[in-house]
C-alpha cells in the first residue's frame, strides 16, 4: 500500500511533497488533534491466545533479550488506545538515565492495527506490518505499508511513521530526501452555511 516512485520524471509538486510532507503532517497532527489525555493514566492490558516466556540474552549471548511471546488474536488496550495483531513480543527496557523499567511491545500482523480517540472527539486509526510501542515514552513506530487516517481530516501513506500517543503528533518520510516517499490526502473543510440576511421573504 506504500507509494512507490514511478518511472515519470519527478515534478516540482512531487519534490515539495517529499520534502514538506513530514513537517506538514507533524504540524497538522500536533496542533488541533491531541490524543486523548486520559489514556496515559490507564493500565496497559494485553490479551492473546497463547503466551510463552522466551529466554534470550541472559542465557544466550548474542540473541534477543528475554521477552514474552504472545500469539493468536493479540489485543492491547490502554484507555482509548487499542492495537491488535497476529503476534507480539513484550520486552522490559530501561528508561534512559533512570533505573525505571518500561515495556516495549512489538506487534506484527497482516496488517497490525492501532486506533485512538482524540480530545477533540475525533479518532485516529492506523495499520502497518509492524507496530513498535513503548509504554514508557508513549511513542509508537509503524513500519511497512503504513496507513494513518485522522477521521474527517487527513490520510497518510508511506513506509514509516512515528506516532506520539501522548500528543497525537506524527512524523514520516525522510527529511534527507532519500528513497522514501509519503502521500498526504487532506479532507476538504465543511462548507459554512450562508449567513442569513435576517429579513422575511
Show the domains of the chain with their CATH numbers.
35-186 (2.60.450.10)
Alpha-carbon span 50 to 48, nearest angstrom: 6
Q: Does residue 18 have a pLDDT over 60? A: no
What's CA 163's distance to the chain center, in Å? 4
Give the cell for residue 128. Answer: 502497518
Alpha-carbon span 70 to 33, nearest angstrom: 32
Work out the percent of the chain whose per-residue pLDDT is above 70: 66
Work out the percent of the chain whose per-residue pLDDT is above 90: 32
Alpha-carbon span 57 to 175, nearest angstrom: 34
Q: Does residue 3 have a pLDDT over 70? A: no
Give the cell for residue 186. Answer: 487532506
The answer to whether the CB of 70 falls within 8 A of the CB of 87 is yes
Residue-wise pLDDT for 60-76, tens only, equals: 556 677 889 999 999 99
Amino acid at each position: 500500500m506504500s507509494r512507490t516512485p514511478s518511472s515519470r520524471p519527478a515534478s516540482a509538486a512531487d519534490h515539495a511533497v517529499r520534502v514538506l510532507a513530514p513537517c506538514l503532517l507533524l504540524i497538522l497532527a500536533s496542533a488541533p488533534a491531541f490524543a486523548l489525555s486520559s489514556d496515559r493514566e490507564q493500565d496497559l492490558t494485553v490479551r492473546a491466545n497463547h503466551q510463552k516466556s522466551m529466554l534470550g540474552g541472559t542465557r544466550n549471548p548474542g540473541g534477543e533479550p528475554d521477552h514474552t511471546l504472545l500469539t493468536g488474536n493479540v489485543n492491547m488496550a490502554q484507555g482509548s488506545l487499542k492495537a491488535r495483531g497476529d503476534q507480539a513480543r513484550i520486552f522490559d527496557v530501561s528508561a534512559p538515565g533512570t533505573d525505571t523499567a518500561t515495556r516495549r511491545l512489538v506487534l506484527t500482523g497482516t496488517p497490525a492495527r492501532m486506533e485512538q480517540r482524540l480530545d477533540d472527539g475525533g479518532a485516529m486509526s492506523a495499520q502497518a506490518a509492524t507496530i513498535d510501542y513503548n509504554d514508557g515514552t508513549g511513542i509508537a513506530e509503524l513500519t511497512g505499508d503504513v496507513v494513518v487516517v485522522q477521521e474527517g481530516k487527513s490520510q497518510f501513506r508511506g513506509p514509516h511513521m512515528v506516532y506520539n500517543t501522548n500528543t497525537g503528533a506524527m512524523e514520516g518520510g525522510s527529511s534527507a530526501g532519500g528513497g522514501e516517499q509519503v502521500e498526504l490526502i487532506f479532507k476538504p473543510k465543511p462548507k459554512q452555511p450562508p449567513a442569513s440576511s435576517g429579513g422575511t421573504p
